[in-house]
């Protein structure tokens, strides 16, 4: 499965305004709830609970907040870019700028892990991350991700 198969342009936020972890999570889920038809509080709660197990800030300016939700019908992917960077309790202690939000139904562990692995893999490419950081709008971000996704 490709990232682009599940990423919707409407869930791409090219300029996150939040300055803390909870704020970023709330901002990332806002466009997602309209597509998924789920409660914002429930979605944020699942993500906050997952963060308590260990930060999804994997270092290198990247965060991949993710979780599973019982009422979700299909996998949902969102993207956010923080120009300033946010303290996301990242493994390397540095600010996080690039966020992929992944929400899956409770019973789809395989799909969840495959997509997490694919996202992690493409984010190892520094040129790709640099292009994302310099992107100005959701169309440009979508096209950058699509281009990189097709190479894998």
- Complete domains list, the chain, with CATH: 3-144 (3.40.930.10)
Reference 50, options 65, 63, 60, 35; nearest CA is: 65
Q: Does position 109 have pLDDT exceeding 80, yes or no?
A: no
Mean pLDDT in residue range 100-105: 94
Q: Which residues are catalytic?
A: 66
**Between 140 and 116, where is the model more confident?**
140
pLDDT at 73: 86
Contact partners, residue 60, CB within 8 Å, separation at least 6:
92, 94, 123, 129
């Amino acid at each position: 499965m490709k990232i682009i198969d599940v990423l919707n342009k409407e869930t791409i936020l090219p300029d996150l305004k939040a300055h803390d972890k909870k704020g970023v999570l709330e901002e990332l889920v806002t466009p997602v709830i309209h597509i998924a038809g789920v409660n914002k509080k429930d979605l944020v709660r699942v993500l906050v609970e997952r963060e308590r197990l260990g930060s999804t800030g994997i270092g290198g300016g990247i965060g991949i907040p993710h979780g599973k939700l019982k009422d979700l019908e299909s996998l949902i992917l969102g993207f956010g870019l923080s120009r300033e960077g946010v303290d996301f309790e990242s493994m390397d202690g540095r600010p996080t700028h690039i966020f992929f939000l992944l929400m899956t139904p409770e019973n789809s562990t395989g799909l969840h892990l495959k997509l997490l692995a694919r996202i992690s893999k493409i984010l190892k490419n520094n040129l790709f991350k640099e292009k994302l950081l310099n992107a100005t709008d959701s169309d440009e971000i979508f096209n950058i991700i699509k281009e990189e996704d097709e190479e894998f």
